Amino acid sequence: MELLIRGGRVIDPAGGVDDVLDILVKDGRIARMEKTVDAPGAQMIQAAGLVVCPGLVDMHVHLRDPGLTHKETIPTGRAAAAAGGFSAVACMPNTKPTADSPEVLGYILDAAASPGPHVLPIGALTVGERGEALTDAAALRQAGAVALSDDGMPVQSAAVMRRGLQAAGAAGLPVLSHCEDGELVRNYAVNEGAVSRALGLPGRPAIAEELMVARDAMLAQETGCPVHICHVSTAKSVEIVRRFKALGVPVTCETCPQYFSLTEDEVPRQGTLARVNPPLRTKADVEGILQGLQDGAIDAIATDHAPHAQAEKALPLPEAPSGMVGLETALGVTLTYLYHTGALSLPQIVKKLTAAPAAILRVPYGRLAVGGPAHITLFDAEEAWTVEPERFYSMGRNTPFGGMTLRGKVKYTIVDGQIVYRDEKERL
């Protein structure tokens, strides 16, 4: 079966391409990518007016499977990924049991083996994410891990993190670090500041994140082993990463759409839907994040897709779990807040959603190459649509973007040459 994608604006930052081209897909691979391709009999997608880019790569999702399947399953998470334009997602190990063994990674890969977005498992850095004994980095890599992380349970001990970086580095894996000092955040729900004071709640201070970002950047400098800072949320965290990068330290970072679009003011309006770790911060932090995205201090955009059941998010703010779903709104929020504001160009945005995260994980995704696998996403950068959480493919409905009108919509997601998602308005 041949598929011809005709006349779209092809943006492939890894290959330096930004041009109107036809793409012919054959046997799951990109067969041709030229000004004009004639392929009589091929299935055709009229892509004029659309952006055609590498399948998006999300380096930070929670698929909740095994063990927390009342929140999400691997099939529903993959369906949400497809609807969001993602051809590959890296899933965090805070499942039940923890993904700290080859057996659990094997379960995840088996459950994700059917056609559709690829799932790249992240192994736990410590056994049970308890922050004590290290896992077997080489065995986890052998079993398919693309990185190690204790996301959600930040490694509190500098000694453990130092040994973990060395072990992961020796196994050829990056460490993805959720940076929050446990004693400074406890289980507090919101950013420490005006909103936490108004609500009478103890807050999670920015310094709790920044101290650990600085610690991990220094450990990367000392060990020479790569560290990637997850979901950077404060202006000062960005500045720390920027300075260490300038010194040649192997530190990278991501942010998430919620950190460049929303502030702590969302908490009084939306309650637990706006509860996320690290928390939504201030307007000055949003500006710092935008600057980091523009000057390259922030490498990648990830979602931290964190589905929860409605009953869990119905709990009072201090007791509800943290996190929001993100796969199905990521592109729309990103285009609305970064492209339509003029902050970033389309190639800059595409890079942070494709080639940049793939390079950090050292996985062969995020580019369009003749002869390479046909993981391709098509989107309309202009189309306006309203977020309807009840229509998500994800089991999670916990989004602060519900009811919001976004500009920028996924039209097709193609993985291994197969159309795995098509917007209902599109006809072949």
Give me the least distance between CB of 150 and Zn ion, in Å please. Answer: 9
CA pair distance 293, 299, nearest whole angstrom: 7
**Facing residues of 422 across strands?**
412
For residue 207 the two structure tokens come to 């310094």
Q: Per CB under 5 A, does 375 bind Zn ion?
A: no
The stretch among 99-107, 174-182, 308-316, 400-408 that binds Zn ion (CB under 5 A) is 174-182
Q: Per CB under 5 A, does 58 bind Zn ion?
A: no
- For residue 225, give every residue at least 6 positions away whose Cβ sits within 8 Å of its Cβ, in sequence order, or none: 165, 166, 168, 169, 175, 219, 250
CA pair distance 62, 74, nearest whole angstrom: 10
From the list 426, 417, 422, 427, the residue with the least C-alpha distance to 26 is: 417
Residue nearest to Zn ion (CB): 178
Q: Per CB under 5 A, does 264 bind Zn ion?
A: no
Q: Is 304 a catalytic residue?
A: yes
Given the complex with Zn ion, which of 209 and 264 has the nearer CB atom? 209
From the list 425, 422, 342, 352, the residue with the least C-alpha distance to 385 is: 425
| Pair 403, 81: CB distance under 8 Å | no
Given the complex with Zn ion, which of 230 and 286 has the nearer CB atom? 230
Angle at 29 between CA 26 and CA 35, to 5 degrees: 75
CA pair distance 192, 202, nearest whole angstrom: 7
Q: List the catalytic residue out of 65, 150, 304, 416.
A: 304
Give me the least distance between CB of 62 and Zn ion, in Å please. Answer: 9
Give me the least distance between CB of 251 and Zn ion, in Å please. Answer: 17
CA pair distance 371, 385, nearest whole angstrom: 35
Give me the least distance between CB of 383 and Zn ion, in Å please. Answer: 31
CA pair distance 424, 411, nearest whole angstrom: 8
Q: What does the per-residue mask of binding to Zn ion show for 389-408, with x meaning CB under 5 A? A: --------------------
Please select the residue that binds Zn ion; options are 22, 151, 216, 254, rule is CB under 5 A: 151
Angle at 413 between CA 349 and CA 50, to 5 degrees: 60
The structure tokens 């998006």 sit at 56
The stretch among 97-105, 145-153, 166-174, 245-253 that binds Zn ion (CB under 5 A) is 145-153
Given the complex with Zn ion, which of 178 and 397 has the nearer CB atom? 178
Give me the least distance between CB of 428 and Zn ion, in Å please. Answer: 39
Given the complex with Zn ion, which of 151 and 383 has the nearer CB atom? 151
Given the complex with Zn ion, which of 24 and 91 has the nearer CB atom? 91
Give me the least distance between CB of 178 and Zn ion, in Å please. Answer: 4
- 256: three-class secondary structure by DSSP: coil
Q: Per CB under 5 A, does 22 bind Zn ion?
A: no
Please select the residue that binds Zn ion; options are 9, 178, 308, 352, rule is CB under 5 A: 178
Dihedral, CA of residue 322, residue 119, residue 156 and residue 318, to nearest 10? 10
How many residues make contact with Zn ion (CB under 5 A)?
3
- Give the gyration radius of the chain's Cα atoms: 20
Given the complex with Zn ion, which of 94 and 413 has the nearer CB atom? 94
Give me the least distance between CB of 277 and Zn ion, in Å please. Answer: 6
From the list 260, 268, 308, 313, the residue with the least C-alpha distance to 287 is: 260
The stretch among 34-42, 176-184, 262-270, 321-329 that binds Zn ion (CB under 5 A) is 176-184
Q: Per CB under 5 A, does 228 bind Zn ion?
A: no
Binding site for Zn ion (CB under 5 A): 151, 178, 230
| Residues classed as catalytic | 304
